[in-house]
Structures are given as structure tokens and as C-alpha cells.
Structure 1
Amino acid sequence: MKLLNQNLPHGANIDGDISLMLELPENDRFFKKKKKLLEDMGSRAKHASIHSSASPGELESSLLLMLQRARIINLDELELYFGGEDVMDMVGFNSPRNEMESLNSILTAIAKLDGEHCSTTILEELRIAAVDLISELGKKCKEESKVVTRSSCEPEKCLQQWGEDQGVKSQLEISYFEGAGRGAVARQDMRIGDIALEIPLSIVISDDLVHEYDMYSILERVEGMSAETMVLLWSMKEKHNPDSKFKLYFDTLPEVFNTGLSFGMEAIMALDGTLLLEEIVQAKEHLRAQYDELFPSLCNDHPDVFPPEQYRWEQFLWACELWYSNSMKIMFTDGKLRTCLIPIAGFLNHSTCPHIMHYGKVDSTTNSIKFPLSRSCNAGQQCFLGYGSFSSSHLLTFYGFLPQLDNYYDVIPLDIDVASNEDCADTDPTPDWTSHMVRGTWFSKNHGIFHYGLPPPLLDRMRRSRNPSLQSMTLTPKNLEIELEILRDLCSMFEEMRDGLGDPELDNRETTSWDVKLAVDFKDLQRRIFSSIVASCQAGCELVKCEMQRYTL
């Protein structure tokens, strides 16, 4: 990625005709790192200025310069970790999430000036260019989704009608999709900023509801009882209430949630060699321990409030899966962040490049939760929601699916102590990273010497554990020997991890069992990640050997 010259068209500056603000918040967790990157790219000003008579080429250059700055401002922890310290690697495309956030922040800056500035033509041209870039991103990240016409959506239609009677405003229709279950289809063409869905707070299920029921006075006296557990126990009982206000919502819920928490023994064993096996086992053990703390004592002491037939372990696990897979974190007007079930909104499927990204706040004016579009969605197209920046192991465990597209958050944590030498603390340029991880090296931009497509903080720590006095990477025989040693160690470690997954030919690929299929697919993903790291290490070794030959001739 080429860094653009900071001298904008016609030498415009903050006193130019149009000045757009793209500010790095001082409360950003990584403010210092991002500030340094912005300074390295030569961008110190908070504003980007454009002359009102800028040519199309100058306008394009100005937009790209703003996008480079916005990309750095919107970097998250993982993008900073894998991007390293070199600004040249950071101003280009980092991830669909980063690109969407960056382009939408530019649109927000334009909208703040729109109507207040005389140069509306330039602003409109700039807005159209930014929208076009978002559309191009959507085309590159398109997910295949086919509506299953034979499936009945009668319960969902009843819920939608009930919701609209309660004040729901929706531009979406619930449908069944091949291989994905239920999802939402756009009823009409929608543009960026349009509200796809608006849910009144009156039909949102949160812990406030429990206060209206008899069980609250009992549960509030239980030591360690959280608001989330209270509303989970409430939902177990409310599901069976024929007079419930939310009956139509509960009628649309499946009898069984196919998440990793419901994996059978064959699927669990199919995960042998992966970290996910232990994660799922530990998660179920934690839930079982939580259940045993509450039952059967609550049923024995208060059988009228907690009927034993409604509070069996299987029903508790069902409720846990419901809240894990369907709940959303919402900021209420009182400043409290609550975990909620939102009827209708819970039908939207996840994507690594979603149409809806920002929806976690109650609008105090309308007392509702709005779901605005961050990229356009045409009529008949599936409208996706961003569940969060989750790894595939998390999505499989708690939601029961693997993303269709490459997931930039598919990281594998490393349980290795590469910073055992205390002397390296003062010389390490990346002391913020207290833990390390890897991901598929196909995401990496730099596979050259000293990089190899591997995480820069991990490599730096491993170098300093061998040479604490290392100040900078230069092509010296000593440094190259360290590089070769590190790459060989990493290659050996990940070959062992890959081989620990077993022979792919022995995996059960003919099964009709949903959980075994998911387990095998996840294992294939792990193999792909490990294999990419091994290949990058091997290629890196060849690079280093070529450089070392110069010193032996």
C-alpha cells in the first residue's frame, strides 16, 4: 500500500473550502499506538481539507487519504497485533470490519457538514465515492444464501404480525435459508443509514421483567445470583405459560438448539487434537455445576414457583443455549448494559461483512432499539447482522455454525512463555502484548524477511528471549541465525499441532449427524491454519538461508 502525499489538492489546509474531521478519541485503549502510526504516515491534523474545485482525480486521492487515516483510527486489538509497527502494513485493507467502520466514519463526517456548507456538490461526490467503495466491499464479501420456499414460516409470520401490532417497524421478512435455517430478507431496497428494523422496548426481554414475578423475591436472596441467571430461570418457566405476553415468541423457538454445547460424544471425539474439545467440555461442566448449585434445592423449597418438571438439566441447558445464541447486549438509557432477548431481531444471521453493525443502544427519543444499515441491502437479499468479533470456535460453541467466509478473528492462542528473560522488558517495542496468538498466514500482507506472514509481536518476543539487547533488525549473521532458530522452532511446534489432529482421511465425512459434520469442518479449518503457518515458516527458512549465503561466499 502506497502512502499518499500529505499535501492535499491545491495545497488545501485546515482553512480550505471543506474540512472533514476524522479524530482519534483520546480515550481509545490503543491511543498511543494509533497516534504513533498516524504520525508515521504524516497525518497529525484531525481534519482533512478538500478544495471546492478539486478534480475527480484529486477527490479520489483525498478520499483515499481519509480512508488511510480512518483505517488506523478504527483498528482493533487483533488488527494492531497482527499488523505490527509498520504503518505501510496498516494503511491498507485490514478486515471487512475495519473497512466498513472506516468508510462509515467518513460518511458520518460528510453528513455533519451536509446542508451547512456551500460546496454541496463536492460533498455529494465524496459521499457517492465512499458508498461505492462500501458496495464493492459487499460484492467481494458476498455470501451465498438460497431461500427454501417449501419451508413454512407460519409461527414466524404470527410473531411478525404481533410485533407490528406492538409497534415494531420492519423492512424485513423472515424466511428459511438452505443450510442456515431462519434469516431475514429485505422487503425493499435499503440504503446506508436506513432503519431495517425498530423494536419498541416494551417487547424486549431483559432482567427488569423478573421483578414483576414471584420468583424475584426468592432469587434475590440467593447468594451470587446474577441478573442474567434470574432472567434465564424466568424464561424456562415462561416458555410453558399459555398466557404469556411472549407466547408467540417462545412458539418460534426450536425444541433443540444445535450449538456446540449440545454436541454428542461422537462429535466431541471428532474434535480430538483441537483446543475446542476442552473448551466445550469445560463449558458444559461449568453449566452443570451452576445448575447443581440451584437445583433441586429451589424446586424442593419452592415447588409452586419452580416446578421440578420445568427445571430439569436438559431444560436448563436449552435456556443457556437460547441466551447464548439469541441474546444481545443493549445499553439502556439509565447507563446500564443489559443482556436481552429481542423478538424478531434474533432471527437475523451473522456475517463477517454484515449489513447491520451498530444496534446496541436504546434510542431515548423513541424508547426503541434501532437497527440501521452500514451497507445497502437490496430487495430479496438476506440482511445480515454482526454478532461481534468472534472466532469460529466461539461461534460454533455458542451459536452452532461456522462462518461461510474467511474469519479474520480465527485466532489460536499460544500457551508458551517466550518472554522469560526479564531484561527484555525495557527494550521490547511492543510490551502491551502479554499474550500471543496466531492465525492463518493468508491474511498477512508481509511475507518478506523478518516478517514471514507471522505476528510481529510474537516474533519480537521470541527474538528478545534469545537476545535481550536486540535494538533493531538488521541483516547480520547473528540476527539471521536467531531468525532461523525461531522459524525452525515454530515450524516444529505447528507441525506437531497439525499432526495431532490426525489423518484427515480418517474423519467421518459421510455422516448425516449435524454435530459431527460441524466438528469435522472445524478440524479442517484448524488444519488449514496450522498448514499455512508451517508453510510460511518453511518459506521463511529459505529466505533466511539465502541471506546467510551472502556471508559465506
Structure 2
Amino acid sequence: MLMIYMQQQQQYVTTNHDDGHSLLLKLSENDPLFHKKKKLLQLLGISPDECIHLKAPYTAVVLNSVLDQLLQKARIMTFNEVDLYFDATDVIQLVKFNNPRNELEALHSVLLLIDNSILSAKHLRVDVLQDLREMILDKINALGNKIRQDTVLAQNVSCDKETCLLQWGEGAGVQTKLDIAYVEGAGRGAIARENLKAGDIALEIPVTVIISEEAVHKSDMFPILEKFEGITSETMLLLWSMKEKHNRDSNFKFYFDALPAVFNTGLSFGVDALLELDGTLLLEEIVQAKEHLRSQYDELFPALYHDHPDIFPPDLYTWEHFLWACELWYSNSMKVVFPDERFQTCLVPVAGFLNHSVCLNFASVVVIFNPVYNLKLPT
């Protein structure tokens, strides 16, 4: 079985003194964006390794000041690559509220630091840390209430395909406390069926539901692809999904039926959108990515469907279908660690409805082997 857990990218250091506490949110060198974040912190005059001291008098003003300092640092430390790409132009704004995802992760990061401080405190002023903890929880609750008020479910959008996928998943052993819905202004996503507390398991998925290399190895195309020089397992999976999408007898039919016909990534931007990006680095990156993918496609086709038209039907392996499959894997895949300790890039039906990343700064979604549990997503 597999279990998904949240892997922290920060380190928490607490030093307790008779006259107060020294609190340190330390950016982990294992963070893939370590150097970019360190540079931003230094530009803002925030030392990556400097403690924030909590000393008497423990007034509300002092506690608010300490919390603000911790949050300013935590917001930078919990930035993801998209935040850094689009938001890092305004350096002053970086230490302020940026987006709900970043704010919630920053607050949770500070909360974990305070919890660690409470556990390690060896004198009687734990009550001060408890007060600070309550202030953080108040901010988390206030943010949650605002998000809840701003969330409006679209009433005129059908979720029949998503409902069928959930029913198929539950029949295959998926256990979920989530439903799928369309949110106005945000699109499709998962919503809770009931109130969930931090640490509750929202979703459990058995290994048999995961789309991994094993699917390709069992297919009729694998004996051909394994002889194709230089081809990667990820490319094999991409080619497999192009065909499996149209297989009416597929075990994953309900999953492919629920996928969008068009993904809203830069690879599928229309002419008008590209014109808006004229002169930007993003446009250059999109052009380079499409050129790379086109080169990859040309290495595979028409050779594969000329030599093996029964396995690679030309109508299923067009450039447009190839691009769709690329966007599917780029936007929905997760990294999975299997029992042999190898990472595999996989598709995880149902879990794909959740906002996720294989490289979040505060919490990376990592899948590990566990002999007892199914694949689980905690809240």
C-alpha cells in the first residue's frame, strides 16, 4: 500500500531562556528554491538564520510584533515557483498577504514552530507561547472564514462525469470525505463533505488505482517501446495514455472521461494570449517548451505508426493528441516513491482534483510505501 504525507521544507529551532524565547524559522537547504528564497530574504533585510526574540513585557503589542516578523519570513519561505515567478517583481509586497495558499501555509509554518517551542519549553512562561498560538489560530480561522464566504459553487455546471469517477473509485477501494464541484472563478476542485480538522484523513487511495509504469509494462506497446533507443518511462506513459483515453474497455475509463478536453496551460495558449505575452520571458519559455516537445514528437512519429499501425493508430497519435497528453502529465502527475525506493511519475485518479505539486515549498506531496495504510491525503 501507499500513503501520501506532507513533508516539511522548513526547520524549526527554539531556544528557551529564563527571560524569554528565541524562535527561528530556518529555510531548509533541501528546498529546491533555497537560493532564490535566501536572496529575497537578504534583499528584504531578513537574515535567513537570525532568531526572533520573544522577551518581556509580554504585551499584545509585543506578541503582535513577533508574529508579524515570523509571518513576513514565513511568507517568503513558503513561496512556490509560481509565486516567485509572478509575484517577486514587487519586493516590498512579498512580506505582505500574497494569496490564500501562501498565507495559510505561512501561518501553519509559524504554528508548527510555536508548537515545537511549547513542547521544548522548560520554564513557566509557556503561557506566553500559548497566547501566541491562539493568535495564530485566530488568523487561520479568519482566513478560512473569508475563503468560505468568497467561495461560490457554480450551480449550472454538470458534475456527472466526476460523480461517476468517484463512484468508480469507491468501488475500487477509494475512501473519501470529498466531493467534486465547480467553483466560480476557480474551476473544478474538491470540497469537503463534512467539517475536517487538521490531521484528518480526507482521501485514501489503494495502489491498484494509481497509473504507473506497470500499466505500460502490461500493454502491447511495451515490447516495441523498450527497444526504442533513448525513450524514457515518462514518455512511454504519455504514449500509453494517448491510446488508453480512447479505450472503451479501459480500467481507467471513468478517469479519462472526467479529464478536460483542453488544459489551460501555456502550451495551449491561443494567439491572443501569446500576443499579450509578447516581449516577456514567459513567452520565450513557452516557445522553447513547444519546440522541445515538437522535436520529441518528430523523433517518435511517423516512425512508430508507420512500423506498427495496429499498436499506434495514426488518428490517435497526432501532434494535437500528443500535446494534450503532455499537458495532462505536466498538470496532474504526482511523484511516487515505491518499495524499491525509486521515484515514479504517476497519475492518481480522484487525487488529481486537489491542488497539488511535487515541489511545494512548505509541504511537498510525497508518496511512500507503507505496509499498513493505503495512499492517504491528510488535511
Shift of 1:235: 0.8
TM-fit CA distance, 1:343: 1.0
Counterpart for residue 220 of structure 1: 226
Look up the match of 1:493.
Answer: none
**C-alpha displacement of 1:186:** 2.2
Work out whether 1:322 is the aligned partner of 2:328. Answer: yes
Q: Does 1:152 align with 2:158?
A: yes
- SS of aligned partner of 2:190: strand
Structure 1 position 287 matched with structure 2 position 293: yes
The structure where strand makes up a greater share of residues is 2
Q: Is residue 363–residue 370 contact of structure 1 (8 Å, CA) maintained in 2?
A: no
Report the 3-state secondary structure (helix = DSSP H, G, I; strand = E; otherwise coil) of the residue aligned with 1:338: strand
Q: CA deviation at 1:318?
A: 2.6
Q: Aligned to 1:360, what secondary structure does the other structure show?
A: strand
Letter in 1 for 2:352: G
Cα drift, residue 306 of structure 1: 2.2
- Whole-Å separation in 2 of the counterparts to 1:143 and 1:250: 32
- The aligned counterpart of 2:191 is 185
Moved more, 315-324 or 219-228: 315-324
Which is bigger in relative contact order (C-alpha 8 A, separation at least 6)? 2
User: Which residue does the alignment assign to 1:361?
Assistant: 366
Work out whether residues 25 and 31 of structure 1, in 8 Å CA contact, stay in contact via their aligned partners in 2. Answer: no
Q: Which of 66, 86, 96 matches 1:93? A: 96
Per-residue deviation, 1:139: 6.3
Residue pairs, 1:51-70, within 5 angstroms = 54=58, 56-68=60-72, 70=74
1:72-91 correspondence to structure 2 within 5 Å = 78=84
Query: Structure 1 pair 301/35, CA: closer, same or farther in 2 (3 Å)?
Result: closer
Structure 1 position 206 matched with structure 2 position 212: yes
The reply to whether residue 109 of structure 1 matches residue 119 of structure 2 is no
Once the two structures are TM-superposed, the CA of residue 107 in structure 1 deviates from its matched residue by: 1.6
Aligned to 1:306: 312
Distance 1:311 1:304 in 2: 12
Q: What's the CA shift string for 1:317-356, capped at 9, x where partnerless?
A: 33223223322344556554433222112224689xx9x9
Moved more, 114-123 or 237-246: 114-123
Matched, 1:14 2:17: yes
Uncovered stretches (5+) of structure 2, i.e. residues with no partner:
1-14
For residues 279 and 32 of structure 1, the distance between their equivalents in structure 2, rounded to whole angstroms, comes to 22
Equivalent pair of 2:356/2:365 in contact (CA under 8 Å): no
Give matches, 1:26-425, under 5 Å.
Answer: 29-30=34-35, 33=38, 37=42, 54=58, 56-68=60-72, 70-71=74-75, 78=84, 92-93=95-96, 95-96=98-99, 99-112=103-116, 122-137=128-143, 144-178=150-184, 180-257=186-263, 259-263=265-269, 267=272, 271=276, 273-275=278-280, 280=286, 282-330=288-336, 334-348=340-354, 358-365=363-370, 368-373=374-379
Q: Contact between 1:329 and 1:337, CA under 8 Å: does it hold in 2?
A: yes
The structure whose Rg is larger is 1
Distance 1:271 1:106, change over 3 A: closer
Q: Is the 8 A contact 2:21 2:55 kept in 1?
A: yes
Residue identity opposite 1:22 in structure 2: L
How many angstroms apart in 2 are the aligned matches of 1:268 and 1:58?
A: 48
Q: How does 1:468-487 map to 2 (within 5 A)?
A: none
C-alpha deviations, 1:144-171, integer Å up to 9, x for none?
A: 5432334332221121122223333322
Q: Check whether the contact 1:24–1:31 (CA below 8 A) recurs between aligned residues.
A: no
The alpha carbon displacement at 1:143 in A equals 8.9
2:41/2:48 contact within 8 Å kept = no
Percent identity of equivalent pairs:
49
8 A contact 1:330–1:360 mirrored in 2 = no
Residues 172 and 186, structure 1, Cα contact 8 Å, conserved in 2: yes
Spell out the pairing of 1:449-460 with structure 2 (5 A cutoff): none
Equivalent residues, number: 353
Q: Is the 8 A contact 1:326 1:341 kept in 2?
A: yes
Distance 2:90 2:17 in 1: 30
- Give the aligned CA root-mean-square deviation in angstroms: 4.4
| CA shift digits 1:34-71 (9 cap, x unpaired) | 799599668966585678x9555554444344435545
The separation in 1 between residues aligned to 2:71 and 2:262, in whole angstroms, is 45
Give the TM-score normalised by the residue count of structure 2. 0.72
Unpaired segments of 5 or more residues in structure 1? 1-11, 374-553
TM-score scaled to structure 1, two decimals? 0.52
Partners in 2 of 1:244 and 1:202 — Cα distance?
14
- What code does the residue aligned with 2:363 have? H
Letter in 2 for 1:107: L
In 2, Cα distance between equivalents of 1:33 and 1:43:
6
Report the Cα offset of residue 225 of structure 1: 0.9
Do 2:263 and 2:324's aligned partners in 1 also have CA atoms closer than 8 Å?
yes
The code of the aligned residue for 2:216 comes to V
The aligned amino acid for 2:193 is R
Alignment partner of 2:26: what SS?
Answer: coil
Give how far 1:234 is off.
Answer: 0.8
